Amino acid sequence: MDVNGASTGVPTARTRRVPRRFLSTGLAALLTTTGALAITGQPAAAGVTRWVVPTSTSYTDARQPAQAFPVAAGESLPLGTWEADGAKHTSRSYFTFDLTPYPGKEIISAELRTGEARVDDCTKPREVELWRTDTPEAAPTWANAPAVHEKIGDLGATATPCPAGYLELLVTEAVQRAVNEGRDSLTLMARIAGDHEQAKHYSRWIERPGISLDANAAPNMPGKLTVHELTCADGLLIGTTTPILSAEVTDPDKVDGYAGDLVSTTFAWWPVDRPTERTEWTSYSKSAPARFSYSVPAGLMVNNGTYAFAVKAADQRASSDWSPECRFTVDTEAPAQPTVTSTDYPDDDGWYGGPGIPGEFTFTANDGTDSVGFRYSLMGALPTYVAADAPGGSATVTITPGKNGPNLLDVEAVDATGNRSPVTRYVFRVRDTSPTITDGNPTAGYGEPRTLTFSPRMENVVEYTYRLNDGPEQTAAAAADGTSTITITPTKPGNNDVYVRSRTADGLLSGEGSYRFNLASKPTVTSVEYPMGKTGAPAGTPGTFVFGPGMPGVAEYVYSFDGRPTETVAAGVDGSASVTYTPTTAGPHRITVYTRTGDGLVSETFTGSFLVARAA
């Protein structure tokens, strides 16, 4: 997007374009091509150069005056008098070119190009003339030739070889005249000049010609006008005095695969009630299609002012018409702060509702008819918009808090322009409805049952839904007093979590309560020679380390001294095991041990340290 930049109103952008040349190599290739095409590249001459081949190519023969002789691509055409099988023939050639792609365009350059296939006598001067004729409905004959109009010129060579491989003639004026007159085709006739047409030594055979045609159309009238990214429409309101005006520009000369013409735009804007106070700004140039933008400088537009703008486009040779004007009104005045009320969740010091319990909140405008809606956000979530019931009216929404404690509801009034009021922050307190959990056997060990009692924080609770850790949810009915007692037998070493929600008779869920307890499963480690946390025997003394189970069913111990690779020792019948280790250095040493049951259940890890005395 081009937004002002440093333009002074003169198109000065430099864009590298494909040089104006034919993409194929050599005239011979072009003369047999039906659609060779190139793009002009000179910044001073916009347009598209096309290699235009005839839609109809034929010659006539005076010896056979009633017969037409169409010529296919790759065949040559006779001019003048020639002999075949001892008989004399005199011929003229006709070429019809399609002009339907060019109505309304400027023909920058049109050059007919061909080459000589055969020359009867290279000592005779070349006298090949090109004339404009009517366009025949069918291939002409000598007897039924089209009417001849003006002479276009003489085909000349750019070099002296004979036969000449390259003949050319500018036909720009003839093509432009035909386009201007609204004709959809142009027919040209080639012949040998004057009486020499009857002289055999002046005859020539030429290749089927083509026209290198460079034409330019003015850019299309700019469209898709926007003001600050809003599409132009009746009653458009803009909330800034420095809006960005924008328009899209296309150009008929765009060719797929190549950069389009370099185009620029002129933006004009004015106060609707003072059209003579017109400001114009011209952009840099860039290749079409493109979107151009202009940012209105500060200090030029005012609040409540109504303005219009229009855009025209130009390439290096032509300009489009001005676009239809786009009108808008500047409105930068923010609406007043709204009022927020709720009987379900009042903003006093009380505690109401609960997580998951919906409540109604009413937003009321305080600025006459300016506000048309409200934006609201609970606890920093993405804002939601709701329309007012009338301009300057109110809106009631249902909001469901997701957590207990103080909740923050931010509300802004929004006017028709999109201006937003200062934020009204509404604070309400959501009570904790999560059930409490009482552990009837808090010292229970691994694999021992625990009795948990759920107590409600809501009225009319009829059941509880709970789960242990990531296990499946289970349901327990509530007693008449709203409580429920369950029994669980946890088998997971370490921390365990119980989660529970209550449900009322009318289906209302509470917040989620939780309770964490720990099942101690670490093994114990003792050593007479090297007691944990104390100084033991001197280095080099063998020590026995006895491992005791921290949970039932221990099948083996996995241990490591001083970070060495782990080793495994089987547990005895009583679940214990012992290993011998001889530290070789004095100072601190470390041991880690965990257990594993036959089912693969792993305990918590015991980590301990001991000091080894220096040897005497």
Contacts of 573 (CB under 8 A, 6+ apart): none
pLDDT of residue 368: 84
Tokens of 442: 């808090």
Tally of domains in the chain: 4
Domain presence at residue 212: yes
Residue 397 above 80 pLDDT? yes
pLDDT of residue 156: 87
Shared domain for 59 and 170, answered yes or no, is yes
Higher-confidence residue: 527 or 369? 527
The overall longest dimension of the chain from CA atoms, in Å, is 137
Tell me whether residue 270 is exposed, middle or buried, using C-beta atoms within 10 angstroms of its C-beta: 0 to 12, 13 to 18, 19 or more.
Answer: middle
Shared domain for 196 and 57, answered yes or no, is yes
Domain presence at residue 69: yes
Shared domain for 512 and 543, answered yes or no, is no
- Please, what sign has the CA dihedral across residues 61, 63, 66, 70? negative
Reported as a single tens digit per residue, the pLDDT across 285-311 is: 999 999 999 999 999 999 999 999 999
Domain span at 397: 339-430
Q: What is the DSSP letter of 52?
A: E
Domain presence at residue 160: yes
Residue 4 above 80 pLDDT? no
Phi, psi of 385 (to 5 degrees): -105, 140
- Please, what sign has the CA dihedral across residues 315, 317, 318, 319? positive
**Model confidence band, residue 46 (pLDDT cutoffs 50, 70, 90):** low
pLDDT of residue 274: 97
**600 three-state secondary structure:** coil
SS (H, E, C) 444-499: CCCCCCEEEEEECCCCCEEEEEEEECCCCCEEEECCCCCCEEEEECCCCCEEEEEE
SS (H, E, C) 273-313: CCCCCCEEEECCCEECCEEEEEECCCCCCCCCCEEEEEEEE
Residue 227 above 80 pLDDT? yes
Domain presence at residue 286: no
Domain presence at residue 33: no
Tokens of 184: 């959809």
Phi, psi of 515 (to 5 degrees): -145, 130
Q: Can you give the pTM of this predicted structure?
A: 0.64
Which range, of 45-49, 198-202, 321-325, 458-462, averages the lowest pLDDT?
45-49
Shared domain for 146 and 109, answered yes or no, is yes
Reported as a single tens digit per residue, the pLDDT across 453-502 is: 999 999 999 999 999 999 999 999 999 999 999 999 998 888 999 999 99
Question: What value does the mean pLDDT take over residues 273-280?
Answer: 96
Q: Are 331 and 303 in contact (CB under 8 A)?
A: yes
In percent, the amount of the chain with pLDDT more than 90 equals: 84
User: Is the omega angle on the peptide bond into residue 552 within 30 degrees of 0, that is, cis?
Assistant: no
* Residue 299, phi-psi category: left (phi > 0), alpha (psi -120 to 50), beta (remainder): left
pLDDT of residue 36: 39
The total of other beta-carbon atoms located within 10 Å of residue 38's CB is 20
User: Is the omega angle on the peptide bond into residue 163 within 30 degrees of 0, that is, cis?
Assistant: yes
Shared domain for 145 and 53, answered yes or no, is yes
Domain presence at residue 207: yes
Reported as a single tens digit per residue, the pLDDT across 547-562 is: 999 988 999 999 999 9
Shared domain for 106 and 210, answered yes or no, is yes
**E strands of 99-164, at which residues?**
106-114, 116-119, 128-133, 148-154, 156-157
Nearest to 293 by CA among 586, 4, 588, 570: 4
pLDDT of residue 281: 97
Reported as a single tens digit per residue, the pLDDT across 568-597 is: 999 999 999 999 999 999 999 999 999 999
Could you give the CA distance from residue 63 to residue 61 in angstroms, rounded to a whole number? 5
Shared domain for 80 and 154, answered yes or no, is yes
Place of tokens 């949810």: 473
Bridge partners, residue 486, by sequence: 452
Higher-confidence residue: 541 or 2? 541
Shared domain for 385 and 489, answered yes or no, is no
Domain presence at residue 267: no
Nearest to 226 by CA among 152, 298, 328, 156: 328
Choose one of 192, 216, 240: the last residue of a domain. 216
Average pLDDT, the chain: 91
Reported as a single tens digit per residue, the pLDDT across 517-540 is: 998 899 999 999 999 999 999 999
**Model confidence band, residue 444 (pLDDT cutoffs 50, 70, 90):** confident
Could you give the CA distance from residue 526 to residue 546 in angstroms, rounded to a whole number? 5
Choose one of 430, 458, 485: the last residue of a domain. 430
Shared domain for 403 and 509, answered yes or no, is no
Shared domain for 72 and 212, answered yes or no, is yes
Q: The domain spanning residue 189 has which CATH number?
A: 2.60.120
**194 three-state secondary structure:** helix
Choose one of 216, 238, 271: the last residue of a domain. 216
In the chain, the amino acid numbered 333 is E
Q: Are 474 and 501 in contact (CB under 8 A)?
A: no
Domain presence at residue 603: yes
Q: The domain spanning residue 386 has which CATH number?
A: 2.60.40.10
Shared domain for 385 and 444, answered yes or no, is no
pLDDT of residue 47: 66
Could you give the CA distance from residue 465 to residue 301 in angstroms, rounded to a whole number? 63
The total of other beta-carbon atoms located within 10 Å of residue 551's CB is 21
Shared domain for 496 and 515, answered yes or no, is yes
